[in-house]
Amino acid sequence: MQAGHHECSPEALKAGMKKAGIKPDLQEQILRLSEFHTYPAPGVLIGAFMVDLALELLGVSMDRKLYAICETPKCLPDALQILARCTTGNNRLRVVPIGKFAITLNTPTESETADAVRVYVDLQKLKKFPTIDLWYANSPAYDRHTMKGRLRDEIFRAGRDILSFENVRVPVIKKKKWTSVTCPCCWETVPDYLFQGDRCGACGSMRYYKRI
């Protein structure tokens, strides 16, 4: 884990998980996830339990090809990348910035829609875990300097007990056929379906840099 984050060493993290009775294989995945994220953030710890539950509900193992939708860009996508091998790069992870701490997982299908499982943090179940509840609500009563250890231990104790799930159906986004088009403004090429009128996004509404 990154030197700048000393919230918990891998040894202490593993000791806390063992004390809470977390199964050994999930312990190893949480350690990998924490390393990938650079520190054991509360969101990635909860995310590990979410993905683990979704895999069980689907009846599949971690090495199965899966597709995921994540309803927040914060922390949770990393759990999907490590535990379910769904990434933006392999085109199997879609982040929809709704702002909910929820994921949806499904197996491949040739149909136009896929039956999936959606796992989410249940606000009613959070009431049994006051520290997680304060953190999740972004309450001013939560002090990360004095309560982070308590929060982490409570997350390990809670495990899946703060989660609920539902069976859902999601549209399947097929790969688009495309041709390469040269932008007349910057003379760089992009897929035709990303053109904005007569120019590429970088020369239009998606510009994020200024040449120096």
Domain-wise residue ranges, the chain: 10-171, 176-212
pTM score of the predicted model: 0.90
Using pLDDT thresholds of 50, 70 and 90, give the confidence band for residue 4: very low
Q: Which helix (H) or strand (E) holds 8?
A: none
Using pLDDT thresholds of 50, 70 and 90, give the confidence band for residue 8: confident
DSSP states along 154-212:
HHHHHGGGGEEEEEEEEE--PPPP--EEE-TTT--EEEGGG-BTTB-GGGTTT------
pLDDT at 173: 86
Name the strands in the sheet holding 67-70, side by side, starting at the edge strand that comes first in the sequence: 93-95, 67-70, 102-106, 113-121, 163-171
pLDDT tens digits for range 53-110: 999 999 999 899 999 999 999 999 999 999 999 999 999 999 999 999 999 999 999 9
Report in angstroms the alpha-carbon separations of 2 from 9, 61, 113, 166, 193.
Answer: 10, 29, 41, 36, 39
Which of 42, 15, 16, 45 lies closest to 29 in space, CA to CA?
Answer: 45
Residue with tokens 């995310």: 47
Q: Count CB atoms within 10 A of the CB of residue 198.
A: 10
Q: Which helix (H) or strand (E) holds 88?
A: none
- Decide: 29 and 83 in contact? Cβ < 8 Å: yes
What CATH number has the domain spanning 10-171? 3.30.1330.130
pLDDT at 176: 79
Residue with tokens 């294989």: 25
pLDDT at 3: 40
pLDDT at 2: 42
pLDDT tens digits for range 185-206: 999 999 999 999 999 999 999 9
pLDDT at 1: 43
